[in-house]
Structure 1
Amino acid sequence: MFEYLIYVKELKRLSKERHKLSEKFAELEKSYKGEDDHGHLSFLGHEQYELDCWIEYYKTTYLKSKADKLLVPMPDAKDAEMYRSCNFDDEQGDLNILTTKGMHKLRVMLREESKARREVVAFWFTIITGLIGATIGLVSVLKA
């Protein structure tokens, strides 16, 4: 639960940054009115792309941590439909980030595993409740 709150907080922070950057980009685009921007717009566009990569990276790491907890395998890293590479210009180099299709597939598998675990708990809860009810009924019959 704590991990989820950190995840949501970080996504909100990055979304706010991206929104500010989008407003700045639109404002700067209007100010140039077709004139040469000397690379300012492409620089801001690249910063937006990097923020989008960071957002997708946080989503990927959150889903990966959930998959690890539930022992659900991640999609194959070699599958180009499931992953895309993103470079944050640091020492780690290219990182694999789940695509929309990859996130969807992983979320479906996570839901199935969570559902299976809930069904096991519900099964045992039903049996235990039935046994307790039968025991109470037997005790009340024997006392009467």
Structure 2
Amino acid sequence: MRFWQNYLKYRRALRAQAKAERELEKIYPPNLSSDFDSGEFADYIRREDQLYEWKKLIQTDYFRNKAINLNVPMPDQEDKEMYGTVDWDDDPKQPKYLTDKGLRVIRDAIRAEQRQRREPVNYWFAIVVGVIGSIAGLISAFK
């Protein structure tokens, strides 16, 4: 149940972020030379960076919750290759988000843990199916 709540929250947040991206694309400065001088282009770039950081924070939250549910350790927050930080001007709390390398590492760790948890189920499932098949074969042979 917790998995679905986390996933639905993640998808809803990504939809909101994608909608904000589409809205920002509508106001892309058409005349770069005059918009650059007036500061509109710099404002556009700043807002685009904020949307990028927002998406990374959403992904970090999702994978952190998933890792907690599976007891997978997150990468060290002090590692600059694994985490980026939102600028202080944008958010006084300066939240940290996983970089692309950090996302790859945690995704691989989560997949490995999920695979390891599936292996015993697959092992016993194969045994049960084999036994059921043998019993069905014996029953059909005696009829």
Query: 2:70, 2:110 within 8 Å by CA — same for their partners in 1?
Result: yes
Report the AA paired with residue 71 of structure 1: N
Provide closer, same or farther for how the CA distance between residues 35 and 107 of structure 1 changes in structure 2, counting only shifts above 3 A.
closer
- Where do residues 16-27 of structure 1 align in structure 2 (5 Å cutoff)? 16-27=19-30
RMSD: 2.6
Q: Percent identity between the aligned chains?
A: 33
Work out the CA distance in 2 between the residues paired with 1:23 and 1:126: 55
Aligned length: 138
Work out the CA distance in 1 between the residues paired with 2:14 and 2:72: 24
Work out the CA distance in 2 between the residues paired with 1:26 and 1:36: 12
Provide closer, same or farther for how the CA distance between residues 133 and 12 of structure 1 changes in structure 2, counting only shifts above 3 A.
same
- Counterpart in 1 of 2:16? 13
Which stretch shows the higher mean deviation, 4-13 or 96-105?
4-13
- Greater Cα radius of gyration, structure 1 or 2: 1
Provide closer, same or farther for how the CA distance between residues 31 and 103 of structure 1 changes in structure 2, counting only shifts above 3 A.
closer
Gaps of 5+ in 1: none
Gaps of 5+ in 2: none
- Structure 2 length normalisation: TM-score? 0.80
Provide closer, same or farther for how the CA distance between residues 31 and 87 of structure 1 changes in structure 2, counting only shifts above 3 A.
closer
- Counterpart in 1 of 2:114? 114
SS in 2 for 1:36: helix
The reply to whether residue 4 of structure 1 matches residue 12 of structure 2 is: no
Residue by residue over 1:49-103, the C-alpha shift from the partner in whole angstroms, topping out at 9 and shown as x without a partner, is 1111111100010011111111111111111111111147445x21111000110
